[in-house]
């Protein structure tokens, strides 16, 4: 019987392996919503914590909690069962309970042994931070209404509420003996509060920081409190008296995170200067500087055995360092930034997106998900991207303003258009691929792709471009979404406004031409989608108002269907009936961009949850039929 069972297990394993998608990275298919083919990007990171045994690392973010093997950096699991959005996490000392702040008022308690929800602590305010006491007897949460709530995690009872911060409470940490709690405010607050956990009394207030405090941590013996903030210095305080013992200086920008070594001899600090510095606590001298992050280092923790220092950066990476030597050990990547733009290549074989934390543009194979090419953009953060109709070039606009242009075959950078001084929030090519149109807060610009020459500029006060531009298939007309609640149609040859479409009652956020030019779809902050006749300017139809405003819109190639993105949902709508035929759910943030593949069978979406989703529309359609 045992041999038979083993045989069946082997057969099932082979079947699962053979039937899995050809996507190379397995985690791109974990915990997908219905209708999704793959997810690219692991979301934005907010917090991380070691499992008490040190073998795994939990990382909380916009799409759940990722679990990593600390020895290899390999992703082991994506945990979304408690909540698909996690802003703070804390393990009980015995490792049997994980507390999760859900990006709202609730705290979820999860049994790590049985993988079951143990309970929900229903708070009265948005939760920013969590901390278990050293014994696990209490759980503290910092909230937006300037309070700290102390809970009994076993019974769910709210034991007491601590008040004393002038702004919302931010970071908090228990003393090693569990008797005290140190907390700081989250908004321009230079005050550190020390509380008696059992009585809720405010014991001491430290106010000698000249600027906002960003991080506090107790020494392992509980006698010293280290703090740091926006003035780049680290301060060591006597916990009993509140006396300033030592000031440590050396960073060139604000210090955002601190961590003591297990023996209390070293203090690590992470900074906006992109470095981690390790200090001798007794002398205040710098022992070493760790480099590798390309952006702010906003969180640091030592592993339970004290041998590894782990850092989290706004560059979307988690890095492991040897605590004694500072040697880099391994890096976890693919945690991305908000995805503002997605695009398919004209032949439908590849797709791309903005939002990469390393400021690159990835070109991926649609069928396999393989990363085919990476286009380097130096230091610019990209917010818009578009393939040329002939597929030969790709343009990306940046938050800093400049526009980059690459050869898609070679990856060679062709031009950098530096004139835009404001965010280049939308890009569109002319049908012949010869002209690129860019929209910024100050102007709409027309560029010659071959030479990089600026052909024409329409000032902001004439166009009032808000966040979206669409070019008609013949290239003669540009539709411009504006913050004046109207859509302006411009003659691309003269730059003059030919028609103004009125009907929306709030700023227009998205516009898209149909492939035969006759129709224009628009979305707005008034939560409606409207359909217009381009030649007459007539409002043909208004789709039913949605629960949130429309942030993106696109026509399917057949001209009969449109996709629209809002907060966490994508609507697939039929123009003939005026009804939504499907709602795609799974993103946890605003959907900033949607695009159909040339054959109309696949949709790609990019979201503020910092992920890109590929959706199989044929599967969704067959289910609805």
Torsion angles phi and psi, residue 16, rounded to 5: -65, -40
Domain boundary among 172, 192, 211: 172
Model confidence pLDDT, tens digit, residues 260-269: 999 999 999 9
In this structure, is the dihedral angle defined by the CA atoms of residues 343, 345, 351 and 355, taken in order, positive or negative?
negative
The string of DSSP letters for 484-553 reads TSEEEEEETTT--EEEEEE--SS-EEEEEE-TTSSEEEEEETTS-EEEEETTT--EEEEPPP-SS---EE
Domain boundary among 172, 206, 232: 172
In this structure, is the dihedral angle defined by the CA atoms of residues 53, 59, 60 and 65, taken in order, positive or negative?
negative
Q: Which residues have C-beta within 8 Å of that of residue 81, sequence separation ≥ 6? A: 110, 115, 117
Lowest mean pLDDT among 24-28, 168-172, 545-549, 567-571: 168-172
Lowest mean pLDDT among 107-116, 304-313, 607-616: 107-116
CB atoms within 10 A of CB 15: 10
Give the span between the Cα atoms of 570 and 605, in whole angstroms. 9
Count of structural domains, the chain: 2
pLDDT at 416 over 50: yes
pLDDT at 256 over 70: yes
pLDDT at 143 over 60: yes
Domain boundary among 112, 139, 172: 172
CATH number at residue 561: 2.130.10.10
Position 104 scores a pLDDT of: 79
Model confidence pLDDT, tens digit, residues 575-600: 888 888 999 999 999 999 999 999 99
- pLDDT confidence bin for 379, thresholds 50/70/90: low
Does residue 578 sit within a domain? yes
CB atoms within 10 A of CB 240: 12
Comparing 69 with 163, which gets the higher pLDDT? 69
- pLDDT confidence bin for 463, thresholds 50/70/90: low
Position 15 scores a pLDDT of: 31
- pLDDT confidence bin for 46, thresholds 50/70/90: very high
Tokens of 25: 């990275």
CA 540 to chain centre: 37
> In sequence order, what are the beta bridge partners of 228?
215, 234
Q: What are the respective helix, strand and coil percentages of the chain, to the nearest 5?
A: 5, 50, 45
In this structure, is the dihedral angle defined by the CA atoms of residues 154, 158, 159 and 161, taken in order, positive or negative?
positive
Position 306 scores a pLDDT of: 94
357 three-state secondary structure: coil
First-to-last alpha carbon distance for the chain, in angstroms, is 45
408 three-state secondary structure: coil
Model confidence pLDDT, tens digit, residues 494-511: 888 899 999 999 999 999
Does residue 473 sit within a domain? yes
- Where do runs of H (alpha helix) occur along 261-322? none
Element (H, E) at 228: strand 224-229
CA 274 to chain centre: 19
Does residue 10 sit within a domain? no
pLDDT at 5 over 60: no
Tokens of 181: 């709690």
pLDDT at 11 over 50: no
Model confidence pLDDT, tens digit, residues 272-301: 999 999 999 999 999 999 999 999 999 999
Comparing 116 with 372, which gets the higher pLDDT? 372
Position 494 scores a pLDDT of: 86
Tokens of 256: 């955002």
Domain that holds residue 623: 464-625
Position 621 scores a pLDDT of: 65
Does residue 503 sit within a domain? yes
In this structure, is the dihedral angle defined by the CA atoms of residues 595, 597, 598 and 599, taken in order, positive or negative?
negative
Averaged over 343-361, what is the pLDDT?
92
pLDDT at 74 over 80: yes
Question: Among 111-115, 242-246, 353-357, which range has the highest average pLDDT?
Answer: 242-246
- pLDDT confidence bin for 334, thresholds 50/70/90: confident
Position 8 scores a pLDDT of: 34
Does residue 239 sit within a domain? no
- pLDDT confidence bin for 13, thresholds 50/70/90: very low
Comparing 211 with 178, which gets the higher pLDDT? 178
Does residue 212 sit within a domain? no
- pLDDT confidence bin for 553, thresholds 50/70/90: very high
**564 close to 574: Cβ distance less than 8 angstroms:** no
């Amino acid at each position: 019987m045992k041999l038979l069972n083993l045989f069946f297990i082997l057969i099932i394993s082979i079947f699962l392996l053979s039937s899995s998608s050809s996507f190379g990275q397995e985690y791109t298919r974990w915990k997908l919503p219905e209708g999704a083919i793959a997810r690219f990007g692991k979301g934005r990171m907010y917090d991380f914590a070691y499992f008490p045994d040190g073998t795994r690392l939990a990382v909380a973010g916009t799409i759940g909690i990722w679990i990593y093997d600390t020895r290899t950096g390999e992703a082991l699991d994506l945990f979304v069962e408690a909540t698909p959005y996690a802003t703070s996490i804390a393990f009980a000392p015995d490792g049997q309970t994980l507390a999760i702040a859900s990006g709202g008022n609730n705290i979820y308690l999860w049994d790590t042994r049985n993988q079951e929800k143990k309970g929900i602590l229903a708070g009265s305010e948005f939760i920013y931070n969590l901390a278990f006491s050293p014994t696990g007897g209490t759980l503290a949460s910092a909230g937006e209404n300037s309070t700290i709530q102390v809970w009994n995690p076993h019974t769910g009872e709210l034991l007491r509420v601590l008040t004393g911060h002038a702004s919302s409470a931010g970071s908090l940490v228990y003393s090693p003996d569990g008797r005290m709690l140190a907390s700081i405010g989250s908004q321009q607050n230079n005050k550190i509060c020390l509380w008696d956990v059992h009585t809720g009394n405010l014991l001491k207030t430290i106010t000698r920081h000249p600027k906002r405090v960003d991080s506090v941590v107790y020494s392992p013996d509980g006698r010293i409190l280290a703090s740091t903030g926006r003035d780049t210095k680290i301060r060591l305080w006597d916990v009993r008296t509140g006396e300033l013992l030592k000031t440590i200086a050396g960073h060139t920008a604000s210090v955002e995170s601190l961590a003591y070594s297990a023996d209390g001899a070293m203090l690590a600090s992470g900074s906006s200067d992109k470095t981690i510095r390790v200090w001798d606590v007794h002398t205040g001298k710098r022992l070493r500087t760790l480099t590798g992050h390309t952006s702010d280092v906003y969180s640091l923790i030592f592993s339970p055995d004290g041998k590894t220092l782990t850092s989290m950066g706004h560059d979307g990476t988690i890095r492991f360092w040897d605590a004694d030597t500072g040697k880099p050990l391994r890096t976890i990547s693919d945690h991305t930034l908000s995805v503002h733009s997605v695009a398919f290549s004209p032949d439908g074989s590849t797709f791309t997106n903005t939002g990469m934390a390393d400021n690159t543009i990835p070109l991926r194979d649609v069928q396999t998900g393989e990363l085919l090419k990476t286009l380097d953009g130096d230091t610019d953060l990209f917010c818009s991207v578009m393939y040329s109709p002939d597929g030969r070039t790709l343009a990306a606009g940046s938050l800093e303003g400049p526009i980059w242009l690459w050869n898609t075959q070679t990856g060679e950078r062709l031009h950098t258009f530096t004139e835009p001084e404001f965010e280049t929030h939308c890009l569109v090519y002319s049908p012949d691929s010869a002209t690129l149109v860019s929209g910024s807060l100050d102007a709409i610009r027309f560029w010659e792709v071959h030479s990089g020459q600026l052909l024409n500029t329409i000032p902001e006060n004439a166009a009032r471009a808000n966040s979206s531009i669409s070019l008609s298939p013949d290239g003669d007309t540009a539709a411009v979404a504006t913050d004046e609640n109207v859509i302006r149609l411009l003659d691309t040859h003269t730059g003059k406004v030919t028609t103004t479409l009125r009907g929306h009652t709030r700023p227009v956020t998205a516009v898209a031409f149909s492939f035969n030019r006759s129709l224009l779809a628009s979305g707005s902050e008034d939560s409606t989608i409207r359909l217009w006749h381009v030649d007459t300017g007539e409002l043909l139809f208004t789709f039913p108002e949605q629960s949130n405003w429309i942030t993106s819109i696109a026509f399917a190639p057949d001209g009969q269907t449109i996709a629209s993105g809002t907060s966490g949902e994508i609507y697939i709508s039929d123009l003939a009936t005026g009804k939504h035929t499907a709602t795609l759910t799974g993103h946890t943030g605003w959907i900033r961009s949607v695009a159909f593949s040339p054959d109309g069978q696949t949709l790609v979406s990019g979201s503020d949850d910092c992920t890109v989703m590929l959706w199989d529309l044929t599967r969704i359609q067959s289910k609805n039929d």
